[in-house]
Amino acid sequence: MSNKTDKPWEYGDETKAVHAGSQPDPVTGARNTPIYQTTSYVFDDVEHAADLFNLQTFGFIYSRLTNPTVAVLEERMASLENGRASVCAASGHAAQFLTFFSLLEPGDHFIASRNLYGGSITQFGVSFKRLGWNCTFVDPTDPENFRNAVTPKTKAIFIEVLANPGGIVLDLEAISAVAQDVHVPLIVDNTLATPYLLQPMSWGADLVVHSTTKFLSGHGTSLGGVLIESGKFDWAADDKFPTMTQPDPAYHGLTFYETFGDFGFTMKARAVGLRDFGPSMSPANAFYTITAIESLPARMDRHVKNAIAVAEFLETHPKIKRVSYAGLKSSPYNDLANKYMPKGAGAVFSCELVGGYDAGVKLVEGVNLFSHLANVGDTRSLILHPASTTHRQLTDEQRDAAGAGANVIRLSIGQETAEDLIHDLDVGLSKV
């Protein structure tokens, strides 16, 4: 008698966006995911409590660690990214903190693309340094730059494949091959692409992080972050990852990789990282995000369609020097975008004005429909002048390297009527 069978039915991404993780409630049959707005959960008896605290059984203790509503979002994200498991956090930055806390010892090193969200550059380059975690930033357009920056202490490579806000697309497959060669996990911040447009794990990424605040929650309602693991990285192949393979003094000598196998990394991030630092996602934010993800495929299709229309308009405007959108045929990254993101290169891009810093200020203040604020991935169209806001803390060199120079405007194209967005920018540009 054999239990081997043909492969089970594979559900599509649109189905997963609606269903994954949210089977109806066992007691009430509630079809939609309830908001479990509770801090804590009763134990059956002392033995049950001990089993939960020792991680010997699955269950709930306290919402800093696990919550049934947040768990639905976690499973849904793990499913959409084709990963094994995930853990949510209070924000994208918190998810990055949990990731590196679970990977690094003081004195360790990682390599990051220099084309990242400005907040990540500051987090990695300044605040992480104070914890003894050292980051080297490299030009990511040549994958060999990552290999050349490897030191004996290097424990990870971190990239945004679709980078914020430079409009560039990295050669994910080639960078993934370098990470595999030097045996460190490749971490991809997939916020701007979302798993609907790009699934980095299909190209060899080991860990994916998101700010769920952006397209996933999608309506500008809810902060959140998530870390997803593929389950495929072999933490025990060498002695580089003692946080995973050695008994953990923060958990009575439990060895996370041996005990939890292919979901050991997110268990560690949860059981130690969330427990001891506390940046958990609230159940209400998880609920809004779960609801929003159900329409993610439809929203992303429209975001992409509008973004192409707006980018094509700007490309021909006399007051615009350059549009950096990988979805444009004129972009040097268009081939990579078509390879990795055939459904579209997202809806966040930047453009350079013919004028300088002042022209940028005039445009953000001269539009009416676009909201001037520091977020991306909203139903509403958003506009930002990075040099005077998100990238303010950086030096001119850092700003230029990150694609956020003085004349750069960042746009996040929303769900409105495309002609209205074009009209609004046209009026704004007339004031420049």
- Which residues lie closer than 8 Å to 276 by C-beta, 6 or more apart? 250
| Residue number with CB closer to another protein (17 or 170) | 17
From the number of C-beta atoms within 10 Å of its C-beta (0-12, 13-18, 19+), residue 18 rates as: middle
| 25 interacts with another protein by CB under 8 A | yes
| 45 interacts with another protein by CB under 8 A | no
How long a stretch of residues is the chain? 432
At 95, is the secondary structure helix, strand, or coil? helix
Stretch near another protein under the rule CB under 8 A, chosen from 46-54, 165-173, 337-345, 391-399:
46-54
| Residue number with CB closer to another protein (3 or 316) | 3
Q: How far is the CB of 278 from another protein (least distance, A)?
A: 17
Q: Which two tokens stand for residue 320?
A: 């615009």
Interior CA angle at 328 toward 164 and 338, to 5°?
80
Rounded to the nearest angstrom, the gap between the alpha carbon of residue 69 and the centroid of all alpha carbons in its chain is 20
Angle between helices 418-430 and 296-315 (to 10 degrees): 40
| 261 interacts with another protein by CB under 8 A | yes
| Residue number with CB closer to another protein (1 or 42) | 1
Other CB atoms within a 10 A radius of the CB of residue 371 amount to 17
Q: How far is the CB of 113 from another protein (least distance, A)?
A: 27
| 52 interacts with another protein by CB under 8 A | no
| 71 interacts with another protein by CB under 8 A | yes
Question: What is the C-alpha to C-alpha distance for residues 333 and 319, in angstroms, rounded to an integer?
Answer: 23
Q: How far is the CB of 259 from another protein (least distance, A)?
A: 5
CA atoms within 13 A on the CB side of 400: 3
Rounded to the nearest angstrom, the gap between the alpha carbon of residue 238 and the centroid of all alpha carbons in its chain is 28
Q: Which residue in the set 35, 43, 49, 59 belongs to the binding site for another protein (CB under 8 A)?
A: 59
Q: How far is the CB of 23 from another protein (least distance, A)?
A: 4
Tell me, by CB under 8 A, how many residues bind another protein: 56
Stretch near another protein under the rule CB under 8 A, chosen from 120-128, 151-159, 250-258, 383-391:
250-258
Question: What is the C-alpha to C-alpha distance for residues 93 and 390, in angstroms, rounded to an integer?
Answer: 14
Q: How far is the CB of 361 from another protein (least distance, A)?
A: 43
Q: How far is the CB of 28 from another protein (least distance, A)?
A: 9
DSSP string, 402-431: TT--TTEEEEE--SS-HHHHHHHHHHHHHT
The dihedral region occupied by 7, where left means phi > 0, alpha psi between -120 and 50, and beta the remainder, is beta
Nearest to 166 by CA among 400, 364, 395: 400
| 278 interacts with another protein by CB under 8 A | no
Binders of another protein among 103-162, rule CB under 8 A? none
| 294 interacts with another protein by CB under 8 A | no
Q: How far is the CB of 172 from another protein (least distance, A)?
A: 21
Q: Which residue in the set 17, 33, 63, 74 belongs to the binding site for another protein (CB under 8 A)?
A: 74
| 57 interacts with another protein by CB under 8 A | yes
Q: Which two tokens stand for residue 48?
A: 């049950």
Whether 307 contacts 349, CB under 8 Å: yes
| 266 interacts with another protein by CB under 8 A | yes
Q: How far is the CB of 76 from another protein (least distance, A)?
A: 9
- Residue 138: φ, ψ to 5°: -130, 160
Q: Which residue in the set 141, 202, 259, 398 belongs to the binding site for another protein (CB under 8 A)?
A: 259
Whether 418 contacts 347, CB under 8 Å: no
Q: Which residue in the set 60, 62, 277, 357 belongs to the binding site for another protein (CB under 8 A)?
A: 60
Whether 421 contacts 429, CB under 8 Å: no
At 64, is the secondary structure helix, strand, or coil? coil
| Residue number with CB closer to another protein (40 or 127) | 40
Q: Which residue in the set 17, 69, 72, 349 belongs to the binding site for another protein (CB under 8 A)?
A: 72
| Residue number with CB closer to another protein (31 or 130) | 31
AA identity, residue 427:
V
Stretch near another protein under the rule CB under 8 A, chosen from 23-31, 196-204, 215-223, 296-304:
23-31
Q: Which residue in the set 51, 312, 416, 426 belongs to the binding site for another protein (CB under 8 A)?
A: 51
Q: Which residue in the set 252, 321, 329, 431 belongs to the binding site for another protein (CB under 8 A)?
A: 252
75-104 mask for another protein (x: CB under 8 A)? x--xx---xxxxxx----------------
Any bridge partners for residue 383, and if so which? 372, 411
Question: What is the C-alpha to C-alpha distance for residues 167 and 347, in angstroms, rounded to an integer?
Answer: 10
Residues engaged in binding another protein (CB under 8 A) = 1-8, 11, 15-16, 19-21, 23-26, 29, 31, 48, 51, 54-60, 66, 68, 71-72, 74-75, 78-79, 83-88, 247, 252-255, 258-259, 261-263, 266-267, 270
